[in-house]
Amino acid sequence: MIVPADAGGIRRAAALLRAGSVVAFPTETVYGLGADAFSEKAVAEVYRLKNRPSWNPLIVHVPDVAAARGLAREWPEVADRLAAAFWPGPLTLVVERAPHLTQVGADTGTIAVRVPAHPVALRLLEACGLPLAAPSANRSEGISPTTAEHVLRSLPDVPLVLDGGPASWGIESTVLDVTGPVPRLLRPGALGLREIREVTGKVLLPEDVADGSARPSPGMSKRHYAPRATVVLTDEVDLALVDGTVGVLTYETADVPGAEILSADPREYAADLYAALHRLDDAGVATILVKSPPDTEEWLAIRDRLGRAAA
Ligand code: AMP
Ligand code: MG
C-alpha cells in the first residue's frame, strides 16, 4: 500500500520497521527497501522480496556521521573529510566493520554506509531509531524505482511504501571503498568523480586492481538495471529499424513517434532515465535502441547503468 510520507505515514513505517518488517521509502537517489540492518529476519525478507542473491551485501543508511562511525572498526580520516563534504548525500563509504556487529547480508568484513539527503528518509531514520539496510526497492537486476508506483509494480508484496514524490537524483549512490591507502571507486553513481577527487586526490577506478589486493564490489554483476525489453546501445539510432516493437531512448531531437528524448545534461538525463525505461517497458516494445551517451567522466554512471541494462 502507498501512503503519503506525512507524520502519520512515517509513524506507521517506523512501527513496522521496529517490528522487524520492511518498508519502502524515498531517498534522493532511488526508492529503497528498508529493514532493520541488524535484524536477521528483516534482512532475510529484503533478500526474499527482491530475489537478491545472498552474496550481494546491503548499504546501511544512518542519520549522521556519528552513527556511521559506530558501525565501523576504523573510521579513516579520509572518511571524515568525505562525510563533511558530501553527507547527507549520494555517497556510500565502504569501511571495516565493527567487530561486535553481525554481517549485513553477505559477509565481507566491511560495511557500506551512507547518510541519505532526503528529508523523508532522515525523518524515518530518526523515528525508528535503527540503522536501515536499504537496497533499491525493485526485483534484483530490474530497473530501480524512482517513484512509489514503480516500487509497487516491481514489489507488489511490500507492506508499505512511503510516497515522497519522484527521486531527485534518479540514479544510485556512488560507492567508494576507503579501507585502503587510496580510495577506490566500486560503483559510479550520482556523486561525480571530479567532486570526490577535489576532496581525496587520487581515486582508483574499478579496473585498477593490478595488485590483486583490492576487494571487488560483489554487487557489480554484468546484467543489472535492466528493463524487460532488450536494450541495444548504438552510436546512431537507425530509424529504419524503428517500428511498434522497437522503442528509442535518446538525448537528441529524434523524429520518431514515442521516442523518449532525455536531456543532454547528464544530471537531468540521470533523473529521467529509469522512468523513461519504465515507460518504454509499459509501451510493450521488445527492443529499446539507446543512443550511447558521450564517453566522458560526467556520463560515467549513466554509461555504467546502460551497459549493464544491455548486457
Ligand atoms: P544496491 O543496494 O542494490 O544499490 O547496491 C549496493 C551496492 O553496494 C552493491 O554494488 C553492493 O555490492 C555494494 N556494497 C554493499 N556493501 C558492500 C561492502 N561491504 N563492500 C563492497 N561493496 C558493497
Ligand atoms: Mg539495486
**For 106-147, what is each residue's pLDDT tens digit?**
677 999 999 999 999 999 999 999 999 999 999 999 999 999
Distance CA 255, CA 239 (A): 9
* Mean pLDDT score of the chain: 93
User: Ligand 1 centroid vs 175 CA: distance in angstroms?
Assistant: 7
Distance CA 271, CA 175 (A): 18
Do residue 256 and residue 126 come from a single domain? no
* Ramachandran region, residue 212 (left: φ > 0; alpha: ψ -120 to 50; beta: rest): left
| Closest ligand (CA of 173) | 1
Res 104: pLDDT: 61
Indicate which CATH number applies to the domain containing 18: 3.90.870.10
Nearest CA to ligand 1 atom 19: 111
Domain boundary among 157, 185, 200: 200
Give the confidence band of 103 by pLDDT, cuts at 50, 70, 90: low
Res 99: pLDDT: 84
CB-CB contact of 301 with 189 (8 Å) = yes
Do residue 234 and residue 196 come from a single domain? no
For residue 108, which atom of ligand 1 is closest to its CA? 19
Three-state DSSP at 67 gives helix
Whether the CB of 260 sits within 6 Å of ligand 1: no
The residue whose CB lies within 8 Å of the most ligand 1 atoms, and thus the one to mutate among 46, 52, 56, 173, is 56
Res 306: pLDDT: 97
**Domains in the chain: how many in total?**
2
Res 21: pLDDT: 98
Q: Take residue 206 and report the three cell numbers written for it.
A: 574499478
The percent of residues in the chain predicted with pLDDT above 70, rounded, is 94
Whether the CB of 206 sits within 6 Å of ligand 1: no
Do residue 165 and residue 51 come from a single domain? yes
Look at residue 215 and tell me if it is in a domain: no
| Whether residue 206 has pLDDT greater than 50 | yes
In this prediction the pTM is 0.94
| Whether residue 211 has pLDDT greater than 80 | no
User: H/E element holding 305?
Assistant: helix 300-310
The residue whose CB lies within 8 Å of the most ligand 1 atoms, and thus the one to mutate among 28, 30, 94, is 94
Domain span at residue 117 reads: 2-200
Do residue 68 and residue 123 come from a single domain? yes
CA nearest neighbour of 67 among 12, 132, 117, 118: 132
- β-pair type (287-291, 230-234): parallel
Res 213: pLDDT: 46
Res 105: pLDDT: 59
Q: Take residue 113 and report the three cell numbers written for it.
A: 554506509
